[in-house]
Amino acid sequence: MSHDAPSPDIKTLWQAQESEMTTMTLDQLQAHGAKFQSKVRQRNRREYAASAFVILIFSLYLIWFPAPLMRLGSLLIIAGTLLMMIQLRRRGSTQALVRSPLAADYITAYREQLVRQRDALRSVWLWYFGPFLPGLIAFMAGLSLGPPRLPWPLIAGEALLTAAVFIGCVLLNRRGARQLQRRIEDLDTLRQQTD
Amino acid sequence: MSRMTPSQDDRYRQATAQFGAALERLARAFEADPDLRLDLLQDIHLALWRSFAGYEDRCALRTWVYRVAHNVTASHVAARRRVHFAAAASLDELAEAAGDDDPERSVGDQQALDRLLAAIRALKPPDAQVMLLYLEDIDAAGISDITGLSPGAVATRISRAKALLARRFQTGGAR
């Protein structure tokens, strides 16, 4: 057999593989669709539960802490959490997930998917972390001014830790966005290739 | 979920009657885990059925089915193997990795299939798709329509896919 041409058997072998499921009934399709939507709803519910917890804690802070700045910070964090929940609902609904160019050619569809992911990562600081920033800054300022007056190393440590987590998340997301951008550029090159 | 219209249902049935087995092979090529493979296959069928709501004979049925199926698969692979992306190889790299004196070139059918699946899973997405469509006997123009690659780029990749298959696989009478 020549090494320059593949064995004709490999195609036959590939196509002759046994099939187990070649079609689905309407009931099966509906059940699978419901399962998919249920997974998305479950994920959203987890996010909402976490947000509800944050709102509960800062509502209690609002009542407990007498310092005006801490109360203002708590109020802003609650508002930021609500804003983030609205964004999550807008971006993560099942309707948004099924709205993709499924019947476009592969490069177009894949590129669009990568662009969507890249843009989400690029803007995550704005819609996911951003809404919490004013509240956190006000709360920290309230903590440092008191009452109750906390030792400044504790406050500085907390502020540094919070800033580090924020900056770390933003940098990681931006790195992810840059990697996606490189893949997008690869696809663009691929599309322009003629051979 | 909205109610299925007869034409949507008919088109789905027609598509799966013609391409159902190919869709299963596609899922097998990209997902090794049996449970996740079934999940992927069901995702493909669901997306296909949904897509027929807006089909309106915009392109050949075959092109439509493969586009939808490959796009669902690409999303699945991207979600499952993001970290593996950088490690994926091109057709050229895989062909070079398999020398002419590979002692495993003559293998049984099942082994050949297993190795073929492993080779496809190691390829970068566009190369893997061209390889799969070539194995399904789709011509270069059809592959170009489905993938969005230029006919020239498809021809080059088919030639590389043939070289890779020739170097790595020798089945049937060669045993």
Which chain B residues contact residue A194 at CB under 8 A?
150, 152-153
Under the banding of pLDDT at 50, 70 and 90, the label for residue B173 is very low
Q: What is the pLDDT of residue A97?
A: 45
A184 contacts in chain B (CB < 8 Å): none
Let me know if residue A152 belongs to a domain: yes
pLDDT of residue B84: 45
Provide, as residue numbers in chain B, all residues whose Cβ is less than 8 Å from the Cβ of A115. Answer: none
When the pLDDT of each residue in chain A is averaged and rounded to a whole number, the result is: 81
Q: Average pLDDT, stretch B62-86?
A: 78
Distances (CA, A) of B171 to A150, B20, B113, B165: 76, 26, 10, 11
In this structure, are residues B169 and B115 in contact, taking their beta carbons and an 8 Å threshold? yes
Q: Higher-confidence residue: A145 or A180?
A: A180
Residue written as tokens 């800054």? A137
Q: What H or E segment, with its residue span, contains residue B38?
A: helix B34-51
**A100 belongs to a structural domain:** yes
Domain-located, residue B113: yes
Domain-embedded: residue B2: no
For position A21, what pLDDT does the model report? 78
- How many separate domains does chain A show? 1
The reported pLDDT for the residue numbered A6 is: 54
Chain-chain contact of B172 with A13 (C-beta, under 8 angstroms): yes
Tokens read off for B95: 């062909």
pLDDT band at B28 (very low <50, low <70, confident <90, very high): very high
**Partner residue opposite A102 with nearest CB, options B47, B125, B148:** B47
Q: Is residue A113 part of a domain?
A: yes
Task: Name, of A4-18, A104-118, A129-143, B125-139, the range with top average pLDDT.
Answer: B125-139
pLDDT value of residue A176: 86
Say what the pLDDT of residue A100 is: 53
CA distance B129 to B123: 9
Note the pLDDT of residue B95.
66
Please report whether residue B34 resides in a domain. Answer: yes
Above 60 in pLDDT, residue A7?
Answer: no
Bigger pLDDT: B107 vs A111: A111
Total domains, chain B: 1
Least CA distance to B4: which residue of chain A? A26
- A158 within domain boundaries: yes
**CA-based nearest distance B111→chain A, Å:** 11
- Which residues in chain A touch residue B47, judged by CB atoms under 8 angstroms apart? 102
Compute how many other C-beta atoms are within 10 angstroms of the C-beta atom of residue B21.
Answer: 19
Mean pLDDT of B140-162: 91
- Asked whether residue B3 is assigned to any structural domain, the reply reads no
Alpha helix positions (H), chain A:
8-15, 26-64, 68-92, 94-98, 106-124, 133-145, 152-192
3-class SS of residue B31: coil
Mean pLDDT value of segment A1-8: 49
Q: Any idea which residue has 């899973």 for tokens?
A: B121
A96 touches chain B (CB under 8 A): no
Q: Domain range holding A114? A: 24-194
Phi, psi of B106 (to 5 degrees): -95, 105
Give CA–CA dist B102/B126, Å, rounded: 26
Domain carrying residue B159: 8-171
Whether residue B141 is contained in a domain is answered as yes
Residue among A7, A36, A106, A189 with most chain B CBs within 10 A, to mutate: A106
Position A15 in a domain: no
In a domain, A88, yes or no: yes
B1, B59, B174 member nearest A1 (Cβ): B174
- Residue A17: closest CA among chain B residues belongs to which residue? B25
Share of chain B above pLDDT 70, in %: 79
The nearest alpha carbon in chain B to A15 belongs to B136
Per-residue model confidence (pLDDT) at position B2 = 53
Q: Is residue B80 part of a domain?
A: yes
Q: For residue range A68-115, what is the model confidence (pLDDT) as tens digits?
A: 888 899 999 999 999 888 887 776 654 544 445 667 888 888 888 788
Residue A10: inside a domain: no
pLDDT in the model for residue B86: 47
Q: Is residue A168 part of a domain?
A: yes
CATH of the domain at B101: 1.20.140
SS (H, E, C) B126-144: HHHHHHHHHHCCCCHHHHH
Which residue has better confidence, A1 or A159? A159
Residue window 23-42, chain A: list those with CB within 8 Å of chain B: 23-24, 26, 28-30, 32-34, 36
In Å, what is the CA distance from B60 to each residue of B114, B127, B141? Answer: 32, 23, 12
Task: Give, as one character, the DSSP assignment of residue A3.
Answer: S
